[in-house]
Chain A
């Protein structure tokens, strides 16, 4: 059922887009800055492996701190706020309603970016909590939680007040994501920081959260957005509604148990359950493959290479690969070789930079010109970004995975993997260039919008002055 056929009085698309303008800008401008910061930090961390003495005298930039800050800047600085921005727009469009209370997410976005700033600074100053993906100390994590809830409530409300009652698969994925993050983030912080559990149970909670953020949450958001844009950009319907729904339920059911590796010092039932659940991820993996494959076939227009659709397609292929890697890591025979190597890093980086970030780039390139009502200042950068990001992800992730194999096969000797790591640093360089182009486009767009605003304001103030004030 399309918007034209519905019997409900719905808002026209430009009006909906305009209602999301302020939240989108507030979230995305900060996110694009953090994206560049995160990639620069990741590049510094990566270079340190070839020259251990590089910036070694500076405690702020020691490897352990930089790498944590880089990961958190990419995930909490870019992926989460950018996801929220896209979710706000997708929900408004799917519901055919103007976004209610646009100022709440604007305030929340500033709280969020302040939280990320405090968190990153704390990590670099040595005040991280010491838990992977939860390094932000209390000052940062509480702000993040409050900001997320502040954005999630009006966004979920816009779902509740929807004029178009018909549900679309993305509704399931994105609504679940809005609930999933506050729940898992709050639980993990309570059990690790506020009232820490004893001993190795901290490791269980930490890994449970890492899996729920990087695998479950990222997949929910990435697939939810991907399933929205795939039919939209190709002009062909999604094949099929129930496959997508089946993917959602199996992902939510099996995904949440994964991520506790075989060798960890946890009782056998925990790691066994986790690897069984990971192998069951084959079901959503098949589901996504079917949806992806069938939705791409048939008549329709795919648009030019390097446009938003290319980003989304790249992202979905990355999801398939990263899930395969995740399943492989959970199989005892394979994990014996690859556990604790760069292979795991490759998987999480593919999930972050190859999957979610790419889907988000595609979505943002589509949304932002519509929300602001004018095009990017340098539209040719989009294609360059697509090319650089694609090349970068391949050259960043594949060598890391191969480095992991070299490491596992050579008694964890770093020397065996060093050449692969050198190539991966190159890949990260490409990614940084691409991300710079992205950030430039977003910032230029933001500045143009600001400038237009000031111009309009200036015109409004100056125009009547000439007429009335001079004579009196």
Chain B
């Protein structure tokens, strides 16, 4: 060491390479590590949702998350029906449900919409409609494509409920299960409905 390093520096006994005592590691620290790892594993098992991207705290699994999905109440159902109606149906039938001359018959006040049952009504968007049909005292003769065939059952049920309960139509709501049944009964590629076919079905 050079001599001009002054005494202000704390002088170690000499300036050698530091030494380290080489006694073996005690077993307790390894046991402790393993115990902590085990407890950590248990905690991870209970809280992690096992690498599912959609599981965030406070949920711990997809099942739990599924349990807490809100069931849509009647109001939410109607709101959803309105959105679907305005996107899919409103263009021809009008946002007010009054229909458009030369394009589509009215839904407001229509006997088909407000029928006691909704079996016939549910067939129309799922299969389409062609030929002569009388709506609210007027004859209409035009075609409608199967506009509802591509909609999920829940959306179709919501939109049917919406048209049956809006604009002064005071009919009952349509549950999703019944839409599923009608769709299953129609098969893969149904023929468009006609007035006569509809009349053969239960209401």
Contact = CB atoms under 8 A, between A and B. Distances in A.
B9 A369 contact: yes
A272 B48 contact: yes
Interface string A239-283: 111111010001000000000001101111101110011011011
Contact of B12 (A14, A301, A374): A301
Given A276-B43, A286-B29, A233 B12 contact: yes
A373 B2 contact: yes
A375 interface: yes
B138 interface: no
A95 B76 CA distance: 74
Could you say which of B18, B25, B51 has the most chain A C-beta atoms within 10 Å of its C-beta?
Answer: B18
B18 A280 contact: no
A309 interface: yes
Given A246-B25, A269-B48, A375-B6, A13 B19 contact: no
Contact of A379 (B8, B19, B48, B53): B8
A268 B59 contact: yes
A168 B74 CA distance: 73
A214 B154 CA distance: 51
Contacts of A379: 6, 8-9
A280 B37 contact: yes
A408 interface: no
Count class of interface residues, chain A: 35 or more
Interface in A1-40: 1-4, 13-14
Contacts of A164: 17
Contact of A242 (B11, B15, B24): B24
A158 to B, nearest CB: 15
A237 B20 contact: yes
A267 B49 contact: yes
Contacts of B11: 303
Contact of B17 (A2, A239, A243, A365): A2
Contacts of A222: none
A265 B4 CA distance: 59
A267 B6 contact: no
Nearest to A170: B18
A292 to B, nearest CB: 13
A282 B36 contact: yes
Contacts of A307: 9-10
B17 A269 contact: no
A123 B5 CA distance: 42
Contacts of A234: 12
A279 B35 CA distance: 12
Contacts of B54: 267
Given A241-B21, A268-B56, A280-B37, A370 B5 contact: yes
A232 B13 CA distance: 9
B55 A232 contact: no
Contacts of A287: 29
A93 interface: yes
B167 interface: no
Contacts of B48: 268-269, 272-273
Interface residues of chain A: helix, strand, loop or mixed (majority): helix
B32 interface: yes
Contacts of A300: 13
A326 B183 CA distance: 58
Interface string A214-245: 00000000000001111111110111111110
Contacts of B57: 262-263, 268, 271-272
Contacts of B53: 267
Could you say which of B16, B37, B52, B53 has the most chain A C-beta atoms within 10 Å of its C-beta?
Answer: B16
A379 B7 CA distance: 9
Contact of B18 (A96, A231, A265, A308): A231
Nearest to A250: B33
A296 interface: no
Contact of B47 (A227, A232, A272, A374): A272
Nearest to A281: B36
Contact of B25 (A94, A231, A243, A366): A243
A260 to B, nearest CB: 12
B111 to A, nearest CB: 52
A287 B28 CA distance: 12
B125 to A, nearest CB: 37
B1 interface: yes
Contacts of B56: 265-268
Contact of A268 (B1, B10, B21, B47): B47
A169 B10 contact: no
B4 A232 contact: no
Nearest to A232: B18
Given A169-B20, A243-B25, A304 B44 contact: no
Interface of B: 1-2, 4-6, 8-13, 15-25, 29, 32-33, 36-37, 40-41, 43-44, 47-57, 59-60
Interface of A: 1-4, 13-14, 93-94, 96, 164, 168-169, 227-235, 237-244, 246, 250, 262-263, 265-269, 271-273, 276-277, 279-280, 282-283, 286-287, 300-304, 307-309, 365-366, 369-370, 373-376, 379-380, 382
Given A238-B21, A308-B9, 10 more contacts: A13-B15, A168-B17, A231-B20, A267-B55, A268-B57, A271-B57, A272-B48, A283-B36, A300-B13, A301-B13
14 contacts: A3-B17, A13-B15, A239-B20, A265-B56, A267-B53, A268-B52, A269-B49, A269-B50, A272-B44, A308-B10, A370-B2, A374-B5, A375-B8, A375-B9
